Amino acid sequence: MSVRSLAAHWQHTYHQQAPPTALIPAPISVALLAEAGLAHDAPILDVGCGVSAFLSELLAQGYRNLIATDVSATALAQHRRLLGVEKAASILWVEDDVTDPKRIAGLDPILLWHDQGLLQECTHLSQQTAYRQLLDHMLEPGGWALLAARAPAAAEQVPSHPLQGYDAPRLAAWLGSEYRLHQHQQHDYARLFAPPQPYTYALFQRALSAQQTFRQARVGR
């Protein structure tokens, strides 16, 4: 699927289906986020946010530096409507495509990158490369990447909309040695307009640079 058709697919999907009546819970993502121990003012980016309740649940916990991005303007509008005016005003909303970013790359660095189902959409090498370049550009050394993707055995192979399945070792191999796997688990996730499927959830921490590691060691003495 090309970058253009990926955007067209989700715009079409959100237009064709009845608008959701509630945000989709994200309990595993929220539980894994707690493992990172981030301060409530830590910048957190939810890529491909769709209508997940992840950011709503973080707002309820006191997080206040949240960014939502999706390739579909319809998804963002529905998400804001379900949140309500007051909560929606607490989040920075960015319509953009992480595989061809126009606005996201200009934002300040972040300490958590959350993706609940977008990486699996990147089935072309060019998309995966662009995604990874943006991740590396946005995420501070020492920051966290929380990725969720459909397990390999459950990845759909629909010709019009293929998905790339991942387990924890495959995610770790894709990220490479710069990212350390902190924790992972499987969970049946009911994605929008689809029945529950087994997903791999994995939390990675990006390595500090050599200079930062040296500075931390000196401070700890």
pLDDT tens readout for residues 76-85 = 999 999 999 9
Whether the per-residue pLDDT at 185 is higher than 70: the answer is yes
Per-residue confidence (pLDDT) for residue 11, from 0 to 100: 64
Contacts of 220 (CB under 8 A, 6+ apart): none
**CB neighbour burial string for 10-43, b if at least 16 within 10 angstroms, e if fewer:** beebbeeeeebeebbebebbbebbeebebeeebb
pLDDT in tens, 87-121: 999 999 999 999 999 999 999 999 999 999 999 98
Q: Give yes or no for residue 214 having a pLDDT over 70.
A: no
pLDDT score, position 93: 98
How many domains, the chain? 1
Spatial distance between the Cα atoms of 132 and 116, rounded to a whole number of angstroms? 15
Q: Residue 36's domain spans which residues?
A: 3-219
pTM score over 0.85: yes
Q: Which residue has the higher pLDDT, 6 or 35?
A: 35
Q: What is the mean pLDDT of the chain?
A: 87
pLDDT, tens digit (0-9, with 9 covering 90-100), for 25-60: 999 999 999 999 999 999 999 999 999 999 999 999
DSSP 147: E
Check residue 189 and give its pLDDT.
76
Of the pLDDT bands very low, low, confident and very high (cuts 50, 70, 90), residue 221 is very low
- Compute, in degrees rounded to 10, the torsion defined by CA atoms 10, 48, 55, 76: -40
Whether 210 shows a pLDDT value over 50: the answer reads no
Q: Confirm if 91 and 82 have CB atoms less than 8 A apart.
A: no
Q: Phi first, then psi: what are they for 215, rounded to 5°?
A: -65, -40
Q: How confident is the model at residue 18 (pLDDT cuts 50, 70, 90)?
A: low
What pLDDT does 159 receive? 55
Taking residues 196-218, report their average pLDDT.
Answer: 73
Which CATH number does the domain housing residue 172 bear?
A: 3.40.50.150
Adjacent-strand bridge partners of 146? 114, 203
